[in-house]
Amino acid sequence: MSVQNPSRARLTELFQALLRLHKSLLDAERVSYERVHGRIESNGAFLQLTLTDAWFAWLRPLSQAISRLDELSEEDPSASGAGITALLASIRSLLTPSETGEGFGRHYYNALQQVPEAGLAHAQVKALLGS
């Protein structure tokens, strides 16, 4: 995928890979949350927690990036090219695990160590993003 001019098919592939990564992270966080706080009663309650509870706050930058990618991929390619390029660079930066950092990078590092599905999805996303 050319970072300068990714095709719609490539963006769709990246979008799907990001969704798989996001789901693996959400599923793992749900299990951790339920160990501490008890079972979440419904998917609606889980959605509300992901949007408002501090436990899930670290995942929101990834959620927002996925949403923005979806929006930009629907726009006219000539109008959104620079925006997509900037967003891909932002996603690449966001998905840099940090063993010693804080915030998303630190949580992400820990998740990649503990959740095999996240590690596999991470590798796929990174391959699609390029270096």
Taking each helix axis as running N to C, give the angle between helix 116-129 and helix 8-37, from 0 to 180 degrees, rounded to the nearest 10.
Answer: 160
Eight-class DSSP state of 95: T
Farthest-apart Cα atoms in the chain, separation: 49
- The yes-or-no verdict on residue 100 having pLDDT over 50 is yes
Instruction: Output the pLDDT for position 81.
Output: 74
When pLDDT is averaged across residues 2-26 and rounded to a whole number, the result is 83
Instruction: Output the pLDDT for position 123.
Output: 97
Poorest-pLDDT segment among 8-22, 73-87, 104-118 = 73-87
When pLDDT is averaged across residues 55-67 and rounded to a whole number, the result is 96
Poorest-pLDDT segment among 6-10, 65-69, 81-85, 113-117 = 6-10
Give the count of beta carbons closer than 10 Å to the beta carbon of residue 20.
Answer: 16
- The yes-or-no verdict on residue 7 having pLDDT over 70 is yes
Taking each helix axis as running N to C, give the angle between helix 116-129 and helix 103-114, from 0 to 180 degrees, rounded to the nearest 10.
Answer: 120
Instruction: Output the pLDDT for position 6.
Output: 62
